[in-house]
Structure 1
Amino acid sequence: MARSHGTDGCGAYGGLVFGALRVTRTRAGLIGLAACVAAGAGFLGSTDDRPAAAPAPAVPSPSVAPRTPEPTLSAAPAPAGLPVIDYWTAPRGFPADPAAMSLTAVTEGLHPSRSIPVYDAPGGRPRARLTPEISGMPLILPITDRRSGWVAVLLPTANRRIGWLPPKGWTARPLRDHLIVQRRTHKLIWRRDGVRRAAWTVTTGTATTPTPLGRSFVLGRTPTSGAAYANVDALALSSVPENRRALPASLRGAHTGIHGWYDDGSFGRSASNGCVRMPPDAQRTLLKHIGHGTLVTVVD
């Protein structure tokens, strides 16, 4: 995480603290995504001039009965006073992400169009609310599963947790990008539409302040200031510190971030408070292409 005045700790500036990443002011806005089209074609030829064998007689395909659509489970009314999931308040009572370490891309997200309750299962119990923004950033949640007319989404401010939403109160958003962080090799890989676009050597968290494993997502971008961060904006993630007690009290409610870093000698090491430090030019590339809701998967 950020280092100030020669210490290998966290830096505070302009209302933003990294190490985990704390946002008290943001500059939100969807980031334009550049189109990328990959195409390939090929054929298999033969120089054998012998006549081809007669085709085998066609065998009629067995008839397949159409699948009966799974009925949509009704949503229980949400009681008054449900807690709102925000940048500081972690949701409780939600199930673990069953595919937390999956490297499969997620291609669709959703944006709450109003304050909506989030449930612990399809047709289950409402336990919290999601709002259209989180700390000033438009909230886009990756959709990880569908069942009984409901969708499962990754939740912010809680590591490796999902919540379920009925089919109303949100709009779908396409997701094209996927960031994969490899802690052991200190690599960050960027994939778009399933195609690897770039990879960089980065800094990840120490053994006592690790970069959180599993799937999370980009909440948005936030400004930084100071030479340590190369004066480049940061990406705030949905994940939070694994071991809050290992951090200074001021960072225990913070989030993980991806940000630029001034010291080339720190890349390829486990030296941060949990954030991912990037070469400044690499960070600028991410800021140009990576939008809200982008899936981020951290593996060993």
Structure 2
Amino acid sequence: MRFDRMIRRRAGLLAVAVGVPLLLAAAGATGWALTPDRTPSAPPVVAPPTPTAAVPSSAAPTPERVPVAAPAPDDLPVVDYSLAPTGFPADPDTLDTTPLTEGLHPTREIAAYTAPGGRPLAFLAPTINGVELTMPIAQRRAGWTAVLLPSANRTLAWLPPGGFTTVPLRGQIVIERKPHRLTWYRAGQAVQSWEISLGQRGQETPLGRTFILGRTPPPQDVYGGVDIFALGAVPDDPESVPASLRGAHIGIHSWYHDGELGMKTTNGCIRLTKSGQRKLLAEVRPGTEVAVVDELPVPPPTA
């Protein structure tokens, strides 16, 4: 790990989309074909029979080759709370609401690549400005692991083996923009839903899969005195938000009144009731997936 680079990185406060600090805290064996022993079928004075071809034993399947990770230059940026570097691949399943049930936590600084065996573009550290980083695992391929990239929307980063641990993620939050609804799931089952406020025109709450990065105390009374969840997502158009929110992240938080529930009034954040926010803060851990879609499909009626 490049500790000198980590030490030199600027200290700073993490701001959610409400403009507040985030204070959270291949190796495998293949089968060998053995040639059977052959014994002549006649006395020694008789020529032995013509040898027959060896019959191979059942061979173990050849393990999948793990693409080699190209060395990462030391001067690559470390992903922090500002916008992540560009060039990473889009999340191909960004509107899929199938729960992501496993998270990845870097145990050291690790390089993030564009694909298995692809190009390194940045480093992921165990923390972002002191916040422990856990990212939902979106794919696995050829020994590599793809995670939802923080400080970016609808984007994956591919990680080679080693340098991380995994943790189970039992919860999920699904945001539906058209009905203005947040639903909290546990182990794939809906637990509770709330009416919410969402981003106003031009500052819409970004679609796609993201995750809870961490939590912060409310900086002002307008947030109802309840902690705020900061997400990995950022405004789709950073220039559309007020100047004081440039570089901010999307958040889930309460408000000092509930009169705007069901409306599009925020700068991209998700607002719900104070009791609902307290419930999520008590039950949902950082790293949990948040899926934002326009609307969930209605299941067909049962016969």
| Distance across 1 between alignment mates of 2:287 and 2:24 | 16
Task: Name the aligned partner's letter for residue 212 of structure 1.
Answer: P
Say whether residues 1:112 and 2:106 are aligned partners.
yes
Matched position secondary structure for 2:172: strand
Offset at residue 277 of structure 1 (A)? 0.6
Report the equivalent of 1:78. Answer: 72
Instruction: Identify unmatched segments of 5+ residues in structure 1.
Output: 1-14, 29-63
Task: Name the aligned partner's letter for residue 242 of structure 1.
Answer: D
Report the equivalent of 1:261. Answer: 255
Say whether residues 1:24 and 2:18 are aligned partners.
no
1:118-197 → structure 2 map (5 Å cutoff):
118-197=112-191
Identity of aligned residues (%): 51
In the alignment, is the contact (CA less than 8 A) between 1:26 and 1:135 conserved in 2?
A: no
Offset at residue 225 of structure 1 (A)? 3.4
Say whether residues 1:95 and 2:89 are aligned partners.
yes
Report the equivalent of 2:46. Answer: none
| Distance across 1 between alignment mates of 2:115 and 2:20 | 30
TM superposition score normalised by structure 1: 0.80
In the alignment, is the contact (CA less than 8 A) between 2:20 and 2:219 conserved in 1?
A: no
Task: Name the aligned partner's letter for residue 253 of structure 2.
Answer: H
Offset at residue 89 of structure 1 (A)? 3.5
In the alignment, is the contact (CA less than 8 A) between 2:22 and 2:214 conserved in 1?
A: no
Report the equivalent of 1:281. Answer: 275
Equivalent residue for 2:236, pick from 237, 242, 253? 242
Report the equivalent of 2:194. Answer: 200
Between the two structures, name the one with larger relative contact order (CA 8 Å, sep ≥ 6). Answer: 1
Report the equivalent of 1:218. Answer: 212
Matched position secondary structure for 2:222: helix
Instruction: Identify unmatched segments of 5+ residues in structure 2.
Output: 1-12, 26-57, 295-303
Query: What is the CA RMSD across the aligned residues, in angstroms?
Result: 1.7
CA radius of gyration, larger in? 2
Offset at residue 27 of structure 1 (A)? 2.5
Report the equivalent of 1:291. Answer: 285
Task: Name the aligned partner's letter for residue 167 of structure 1.
Answer: P
In the alignment, is the contact (CA less than 8 A) between 2:97 and 2:291 conserved in 1?
A: yes
TM superposition score normalised by structure 2: 0.79
Matched position secondary structure for 1:82: coil
- Equivalenced residue count is 250
Offset at residue 74 of structure 1 (A)? 1.3
Matched position secondary structure for 1:288: helix
